[in-house]
Structure 1
Amino acid sequence: MRASLLSCSLGLLTAAQAAAQGPPAALPPVPRAAVVEKAVPAPAPAHATPLLIEPGAPTAVAPTMSEETLSGLTGAACSGSGMPPTGRPFDMCGPRFWLGADYTLFWYNPMQVPTLVQTIPSALVNSPNAFPSTNFPTTPRVGYNGVSGVRVNAGMNFDKVGIDFSGFLLQQRNLHTQLANDGTPVFLGRPFLDASTGGTPTTVNISSPNQYSGAVESTVTSQLYGFDVNARRAWYTFVADQTNLLAGFRYIDLRESVGVSSFSQFPTGDTVAITDLFRTHNSFYGGQVGFNIIYGGTEPGFGFQFTSKSGIGGVNQRVDIYGANTINQGGVVTTEPGGLLARGQTLGGFSRSKFAYMQDIDLKLTYNLTSNFQVSFGYSLIYLSSVVRAGSFVNPLIDPTTIRFTNGGAPSTPSPVPTFSWNADSFVVQGLTFGAQFQY
């Protein structure tokens, strides 16, 4: 045991003496050619002392970071596929310019519309138990399915920021009916609720068998379009290949209408024409923020994009209600305001501004045929929290005793019904997109 301790003590003493030895008097000058930039010297032993350089000898240049290492720290460079090298904030990547177009196939959420036109078997004319054989619209919830449209988008990336623009237009959809006959085998009617009897379902006969002929036409329309413009800024990529923050301006325009007109002609030559029209117009203006995530670059192959935009702003809501009736009796033609459903306090134009929230979601599966041409298939949704819709302002509750063409010809008088009141609903349009894009 004592021999082991003695051996260890001698070993430590020897190491201490070696560490205490001084450096050589001087080292030979380092030749200039021997200095290599970027060379990393091997680590010196722990006991080594600093080298002494003679005055006038060239000093070794400190090694510098490679461009690849520097780019990895700053994220200032994109790979050949247009993808950033790291998850840190980086300069704009991807295509420098793009221009694309999508074919859209969208669905609206339904609009409430009461029955405007009926056909009733002729045998039940003037019967309290009359039941319709057909109604227009066929359902009180009018929906528009498979609405075609087009959407365009364009953008440009600069060094630090980018800009983009997109706009869409959906075709106007018309739900329409037009009927005319002499009252057989069915007669034409316009239904309403009789306020004088507590809301009993009643019908104005437009044609009647063996009495007079008539015609009726009704149309329900809807059209939607909009656009937005945004500034873009690259952000942390997380698990994506690219992530861009978006901030910009959004506009959405929705116009709808419900109209019905009828004409009856009697054997004496007298005629009665009745017109009702309800129109609504919604214009949303607001700011929006969002993000765009991209998987896959500009190289040939599959990719994926997800874009979300949320906006707040004001929606200007306008309702226009028009009604009139014209009677030709014995060659004397008189016209007064008010149809069957559009009359009294509801006539005129009404407008207001409401705060609204907007959400736009777009998902795309992409495929780059080449680095400059891309095709895509996706799903898109637009939500607006407050809109007015034309069908909501068609109030079927009227008092026929105050209307000259339903009370036997006595002059029309004012009535407390129908009345105007604001009705707002949320609005959703969603569907499929099929697109192509040029990029470089």
Structure 2
Amino acid sequence: MVLNGPLILVETVNQMNPVFPDYTRVPMETNKTTKWKLLALAAMLSAGSASAADQGNSDMTQYYTGAAPVSAEEGDIVYDDVDYSADNMAASFYGNEGQSLQPVAFVGDQQLGSGVPTPSPMMDDSYIVSNGGGCSTGDCGNSYEMASSCGSACGGNCGECRQRPVRKMLKKHDVWMTAEALLWFTQARSTTPLITQSAAGTDPELDVAGTTTLFGGDESIGGDLSAGFRLDFGRNLNDDFGIGGRFWWLSESSEDASSGGTVNGNAFSYGRPFYDTNINSDNSILIASTGVAGNDDFEGSFSAESSLDIYAAEAYARMKMLSGSGFRTDLIGGFSHFGIDDTLTVNSTSIQTTDAIAGNIGDTTVLYDNIETENRFYGGQIGFETMVNRGKWSFKALTKVHLGNMEQIYRGSGLRTFTDAGFVTTTSTDGGVLALGDTYNTTALDEDKFTFAPEANVKLGYKFRPNVSMSVGYSFIYWDDVLLSGDNINNVYNGDGITFPPGAALAQPVSERKDSSLYTHGIDLGCVIDF
């Protein structure tokens, strides 16, 4: 039967129990009866669902069709992706005439005393029923069924059968795992000039016009893109508390320069600059040069490299502080460990090719320096993470600070080797020409310092699957007190200590130990899996 016109409810007398009235659904001119208890039950269900949506711990304000909303919590009812729009329901239930009526929810498969099939309560989801006759439940296939039984004879005509919504209880995601690719830039580092170049026939000294620095200098090392990865995993112990761990690592950030083999000074002069305390002026150790006044000619080679490695490991707990419809803020606290290793190596070989002034042809000087600094941070962390969900989109903001002890370790080692071509003898002396004083293999420069490291991260995610999201974000972290190799180079010494044979021991004035700050930042590309 097709109903047209507005619907009203009127009270009638219950013949079996006159104390309780019955309610009759009257479509203008037709009276059909139903039981008030069933209508009361439907009203209670509607009121209960509205109350649940208003609870502070719920991230839902309504029921959804299709994929489960990102913000739904455990116990919420969600529906499969089926079209139950009000327009479709009205078109089927009331015909194709003026569709201004709102759907009415009935309890049970049909209204008592009526042959009109009626849908079960589906909250805001409408339901299309059959307007054909003679169909039985299940006649439209395993995944489709009629709203009510119309009889035993179908005759192959099921009318407008539609699939019932499949109700599912959304399960809480107890475990999470995030894997991210890191594309970060680390702050450029500084050193004194280490390898210099000048035109042929001129000294490669810093105070000579036209001399350029090939390796070293102020903020000249690093600063390029470094790739890495970050893993974050954990488990929710209950709705308000969870524990997790995080590990991230950046690939080695390095800078290098090399002569590419033995070179002469016909095109350029190359040298290792230093400040000579004997003459109180800039000077250089010649690597390759031709026609420099007051010097014999040399050929040689050089190589220099600086590298920086950074990693982090964390164990943390998270506790819910605030939550509402589609958002949540957690307090983060736990243990933090960072490792920052900076290594600087410079190696040069000078071979004398003339003996017009001093020495012998073939005299060779090899200078090797290696300086390593290690920074190990052990401390705690505290901060906040806020998550906002809107449908399949999510946004996270993390801000925290790491506080604790930074263990700073300095190691400088080197070797000076001299070969006298005339007597075919070799003399080696421990210690290079760049290390601080005489602390090559001691712990005199090791220190422990209290430091802090603020960190921030923002992330935008999109849920492609019920348990899988892809994200893009930005991270920044800053260390207040770090020991770096380039800041602790001393290139002030007496030049006589370098000559062959050694005229005197290499003497360097004591220099101040220097600490500096360091930061890294960049883009994160990630995948989040909840299960």
* TM-score for the superposition, normalised by structure 2: 0.64
Question: In structure 2, what is the equivalent of residue 202 of structure 1?
Answer: 283
Query: For residue 158 of structure 1, what is the aligned residue in structure 2?
Result: 237
What's the CA shift string for 1:147-194, capped at 9, x where partnerless?
A: 111111112212142112221111112211111312221122000112
CA distance in 2, matches of 1:316, 1:196: 37
Matched residues in 2 for 1:221 and 1:129: separation?
28
Tell me if the contact between 1:338 and 1:344 (Cα under 8 Å) persists in the aligned partners: no
The yes-or-no answer on 1:316 pairing with 2:407 is yes
Give the aligned partner of residue 101 of structure 2.
Answer: none
The match for 2:256 is 176
**Alignment equivalent of 1:266, drawn from 338, 342, 352:** 352
Query: Is the contact between residue 345 and residue 419 of structure 1 (CA under 8 Å) also seen in structure 2?
Result: no
- When structure 1 is superposed on structure 2, of 266-275 and 220-229 the one drifting more is 266-275
Summarize the alignment of residues 61-140 of structure 1 with structure 2, pairs less than 5 Å apart.
69=51, 75=57, 79=60, 81=69, 83=71, 95-125=173-203, 130-137=208-215, 139-140=217-218
Cα separation, partners in 2 of 1:239 and 1:137, compared to 1, 3 Å:
farther
Q: How does 1:239-250 map to 2 (within 5 A)?
A: 241-250=327-336
Counterpart code for 1:274: L
2:470 equivalent to 1:375: yes
The equivalent residue for 1:337 is 430
**Relative to structure 1, is the Cα distance of residues 308 and 95 closer, same or farther in structure 2, using a 3 angstrom cutoff?**
farther
- CA 1:266–1:328: 2 relative to 1, 3 Å: same
Whether the 8 Å contact between 1:273 and 1:326 is mirrored in structure 2 is yes
Out of 307, 318, 340, the position equivalent to 2:398 is: 307
Q: Distance in 2 between matches of 1:369 and 1:265?
A: 65
Distance, in Å, in 2 between the alignment partners of 1:128 and 1:385 is 32
Q: Tell me how far apart the structure 2 counterparts of residues 215 and 222 of structure 1 sit (CA, whole Å).
A: 24
Question: Conserved in 1, the CA contact under 8 Å of 2:197 and 2:270?
Answer: yes
Q: Look up the match of 1:224.
A: 310
Residue 412, structure 1, aligned to residue 493, structure 2: no
Q: Deviations over 1:192-251 (max 9, x none)?
A: 1122333x2211101232733211111111111112121111121368611111111111
Structure-2 separation of matches of 1:70 and 1:280:
58
In 2, Cα distance between the equivalents of 1:209 and 1:239?
78
* Shift, 1:129, TM fit: 6.9
**SS in structure 2 opposite 1:392?**
helix
CA distance in structure 2 between the aligned counterparts of 1:109 and 1:129, rounded to whole angstroms = 29
Instruction: Choose the corresponding residue for 1:296, options 359, 371, 389.
Output: 389
What secondary structure sits across from 1:98 in the alignment?
strand
The 8 Å contact of residues 313 and 355 in structure 1, kept in 2 or not, is answered as yes
Alignment-mate amino acid for residue 124 of structure 1? T
Q: Does 1:429 align with 2:514?
A: no
Contact 2:215 2:304 (C-alpha < 8 Å) held by counterparts: no
Bigger RCO (CA 8 Å, 6+ sep): 1
Q: Distance in 2 between matches of 1:362 and 1:239?
A: 23
What is the distance in 2 between the residues matched to 1:119 and 1:391? 20
Q: RMSD value over aligned CA atoms?
A: 3.2
Name the aligned partner's letter for residue 389 of structure 1: L
Whole-Å separation in 2 of the counterparts to 1:373 and 1:239: 21
Q: Which amino acid aligns with 1:227?
A: A
Given that 1:272 and 1:326 are in contact with CA atoms closer than 8 Å, whether structure 2 keeps it comes out as yes
Q: CA deviation at 1:347?
A: 2.5
Which position in structure 1 is the counterpart of 2:481? 386
- Give ranges in structure 2 of 5+ residues lacking alignment: 1-18, 21-36, 41-46, 61-67, 74-170, 292-296, 354-360
Q: For residue 397 of structure 1, what is the amino acid of its counterpart?
A: V
Higher strand share: 1
Larger helix percent: 1
Is the CA contact (8 Å cut-off) linking 1:247 and 1:289 kept in structure 2? yes
- Deviations, residues 377-407 of structure 1 (Å, cap 9, x unaligned): 1110111111011100112222213x0x33x
Please report how far the alpha carbon of residue 438 of structure 1 lies from its aligned counterpart in structure 2 after TM superposition.
Answer: 1.6
CA, structure 1 residues 95+207, in 2 after alignment: closer, same or farther (shift >3 Å)?
same
The answer (yes or no) to whether the contact 1:379–1:430 under 8 Å persists in 2 is: yes
Return the offset for 1:346. Answer: 4.2
How much identity, in percent, do the aligned residues show? 22
- What is the count of residue pairs matched by the alignment? 372
Distance 1:155 1:128 in 2: 56
Structure 2 Cα separation of the partners of residues 125 and 97 of structure 1: 66
Query: C-alpha distance in 2, partners of 1:277/1:128?
Result: 23
**Distance in 2 between residues matched to 1:128 and 1:102, nearest whole Å:** 45
In the aligned structure 1, how far is the partner of 2:283 from the partner of 2:494?
11
Amino acid at match of 2:479: L
Q: Given that residues 56 and 323 in structure 2 are in contact (C-alpha distance below 8 angstroms), is that contact kept between their aligned partners in structure 1?
A: no
User: How far does the alpha carbon of each residue in 1:331-385 deviate from its partner, in whole angstroms, 9 at most, with x for none?
Assistant: 2211112222226334334311100112111100111112211111111011111
Counterpart AA for 1:250: S
Kept after mapping to 2: 8 A contact 1:346/1:418 = no
Deviations 1:62-99 (A, max 9, x none): xxx95874895673x664646489xxxxxxx9732222
Instruction: Give the 3 Å change call, closer, same or farther, for CA 129–312 of structure 1 in structure 2.
Output: closer
Read off the aligned partner of 1:100 and give its amino acid letter.
T
Q: Is the 8 A contact 1:323 1:343 kept in 2?
A: no
Alignment of 1:276-295 (within 5 A): 276-295=369-388
The whole-number CA distance in structure 2 between the counterparts of 1:365 and 1:431 is 15
Question: 1:421, CA displacement in angstroms?
Answer: 2.7
Of 222, 229, 247, the residue aligned with 1:143 is 222
2:495 counterpart of 1:400: yes
Amino acid at match of 1:207: A
> Quick one: distance in 2 between partners of 1:424 and 1:218?
23
Q: Does the alignment pair 1:354 with 2:449?
A: yes
Unaligned 5+ segments in structure 1 are 1-29, 40-64, 86-92
For residue 126 of structure 1, report the CA deviation from its aligned partner.
Answer: 8.3
How many angstroms does 1:125 deviate by? 4.1
